[in-house]
Structure 1
Amino acid sequence: MEPFSPLEPKAAAKTGLSLPEKKFRVLVGVTGSVAALKLPLLISELLKIPGVEVKVVTTERAKHFYNPQEIPVPLYSDEDEWQHRCERELISPLAVLLQMHSHASVAFMWRGAMARKLSGWSRRSAEVCWVPGCCSSRQSCSGGALCVAVEVQLWKGRSDPVLHIELRRWADLMLVAPLDANTLAKLATGICDNLLTCVIRAWDLRKPLLFCPAMNTAMWEHPITAQQVEQLKGFGYTEIPCVVKKLVCGDEGRGAMAEVWTIAESVRRVVAERDLPAQS
Structure 2
Amino acid sequence: MPPFVAESSRRTGFTHVLLMTTGSVASIKAPLIVQELLSYRNVAVQVVATKPSLTFFNPEDIRTSGVNVWTDEDEWLPDYKIGDPILHIELRRWADVVLIAPASANTLAKIANGICDNLSTSLLRALAPTTPTYVYPAMNTLMYEHPLTAQHIHIIRDVIGYTVVGPVSKGLACGDVGVGAMVEWRDIVASVAEMYALVKH
The answer to whether TM tops 0.5 is yes
**What are the superposed Cα offsets for residues 190-246 of structure 1, whole Å, 9 maximum, x if unpaired?**
100000000000011111001100000010001111111111112121112111111
Regions of 4+ moved over 4 Å: none
Paired amino acid for 2:167: C
CA separation in 1, counterparts of 2:172 and 2:101? 16
1:61 aligns to 2:52 (yes or no): yes
In proportion to residue count, which structure has more helix? 2
1:76 aligns to 2:60 (yes or no): no
CA separation in 2, counterparts of 1:33 and 1:199? 19
Percent identity over the alignment is: 49
Q: Does the 8 A contact of 1:240 with 1:263 survive in 2?
A: no
**What are the superposed Cα offsets for residues 94-152 of structure 1, whole Å, 9 maximum, x if unpaired?**
xxxxxxxxxxxxxxxxxxxxxxxxxxxxxxxxxxxxxxxxxxxxxxxxxxxxxxxxxx6
Change in Cα spacing, 1:21 to 1:82, as seen in structure 2 (3 Å) is closer
Which residue of 2 is the match for residue 207 of structure 1? 131
Offset at 1:75? Answer: 0.8
CA separation in 2, counterparts of 1:186 and 1:169? 21
Which residue of 2 is the match for residue 189 of structure 1? 113
SS of alignment partner, residue 82 of structure 1:
coil
Show structure 1 runs of 5+ residues with no match: 1-19, 84-151
Offset at 1:155? Answer: 3.1
Rg: which structure is higher? 1
1:270 aligns to 2:195 (yes or no): yes
Q: 1:23 aligns with which of 14, 19, 26?
A: 14
Q: Which moved more, 1:249-258 or 1:39-48?
A: 39-48
CA separation in 2, counterparts of 1:261 and 1:184? 22
CA separation in 2, counterparts of 1:23 and 1:261? 20
What is the aligned length?
A: 187
Which residue of 2 is the match for residue 130 of structure 1? none
Q: Structure 2 matches for 1:1-280, cutoff 5 A?
A: 21-71=12-62, 72=65, 73-83=67-77, 154-157=79-82, 159-234=83-158, 235-272=160-197, 278=199
* Structure 1 length-normalised TM: 0.64
CA separation in 2, counterparts of 1:49 and 1:203? 25
Offset at 1:78? Answer: 0.4
Paired amino acid for 1:79: E
SS of alignment partner, residue 169 of structure 2:
strand
**What are the superposed Cα offsets for residues 146-180 of structure 1, whole Å, 9 maximum, x if unpaired?**
xxxxxx6x5311x2111000000011011110000
Offset at 1:279? Answer: 7.5
Paired amino acid for 2:59: P
C-alpha RMSD of matched pairs (Å): 1.6
* Structure 2 length-normalised TM: 0.88
**What are the superposed Cα offsets for residues 51-71 of structure 1, whole Å, 9 maximum, x if unpaired?**
211000000111111011210
Paired amino acid for 2:20: G
Offset at 1:21? Answer: 4.7
Which residue of 1 is the match for residue 8 of structure 2? none
